[in-house]
A and B are shown apart, each in its own frame.
Chain A
Amino acid sequence: LAKTTQPISMDSYEGQEVNITCSHNNIATNDYITWYQQFPSQGPRFIIQGYKTKVTNEVASLFIPADRKSSTLSLPRVSLSDTAVYYCLVGDDTGGFKTIFGAGTRLFVKA
């Protein structure tokens, strides 16, 4: 199973760039890497997704090295409202379409 490992927590200040790295050593060939954001008592929300190299949207960038065994979510110029838990998700390699979330990274943005 393609389990993921992320830092438990990170602190940052407003206006800084934040990079959260996720390890997924057993990622399967067909798996995409997807990141979600979750605020307290709400369901996770899709942020960004990628397969390899770099993906950028209006919210974040995702960097994936050639071996795909890790990925880095980059949040430019964070604000207080970016304080949340961030999950890295990869698909199950048995083709059964399980979805495996890690424990997530709790990001705390300070003023």
Chain B
Amino acid sequence: EAQVTQNPRYLITVTGKKLTVTCSQNMNHEYMSWYRQDPGLGLRQIYYSMNVEVTDKGDVPEGYKVSRKEKRNFPLILESPSPNQTSLYFCASSVGSFTGEPLHFGNGTRLTVT
């Protein structure tokens, strides 16, 4: 089944403890992206990647890192999480970096930083 898989679904951590949220897609998509969703703010893009080893900042990249060493994986790294990064995170992928390509989203990771 074609899908975008995020892990974990739920994560509770403490301020400053490094964490990684994994994202994997099995559709051979070139484009992958991370978003965070907060009440009243919709989805905001954190980072995106147009292909392996090519990443760029979205609208809210501060406090996050990403890497794209393989086409299928696009992990989101929080080196030193803070409470303002408590949010619902979504990973997405699409066939190519052309903006007309529909995005396929994962089921989300709910992160709480205390």
- Interface positions of A (Cβ within 8 A of B): 30-32, 34, 36, 41-46, 49, 51, 87, 90-92, 96-104
Contact = CB atoms under 8 A, between A and B. Distances in A.
A104 B42 contact: yes
Contacts of B108: 41-43
Contacts of B40: 103
Interface of B: 4, 31, 33, 35, 40-45, 48, 50, 56, 58-59, 88, 90, 92, 97-100, 102-108, 110
A99 B33 contact: yes
Contacts, number: 72
Contacts of A41: 88, 107-108, 110
A91 B42 contact: no
18 contacts: A32-B100, A34-B103, A36-B103, A41-B110, A42-B107, A43-B106, A46-B104, A91-B99, A97-B50, A98-B45, A98-B48, A98-B56, A98-B59, A99-B58, A101-B42, A101-B44, A102-B42, A104-B42
Contacts of B107: 41-43
B74 to A, nearest CB: 14
A3 to B, nearest CB: 10
Contact of A97 (B41, B42, B44, B48): B48
A32 B42 contact: no
A105 B108 CA distance: 20
A99 B100 CA distance: 10
- The interface centre, meaning the residue of A34, A43, A103 with most chain B CB atoms within 10 A of its CB, is A43
Contacts of A103: 40-42
A43 B92 contact: yes
Contacts of B88: 41
Given A96-B56, A103-B41, 20 more contacts: A34-B100, A34-B103, A41-B107, A42-B107, A44-B90, A44-B92, A44-B105, A46-B103, A46-B104, A49-B102, A51-B100, A91-B99, A91-B100, A97-B50, A97-B56, A97-B97, A97-B98, A99-B33, A101-B35, A101-B44
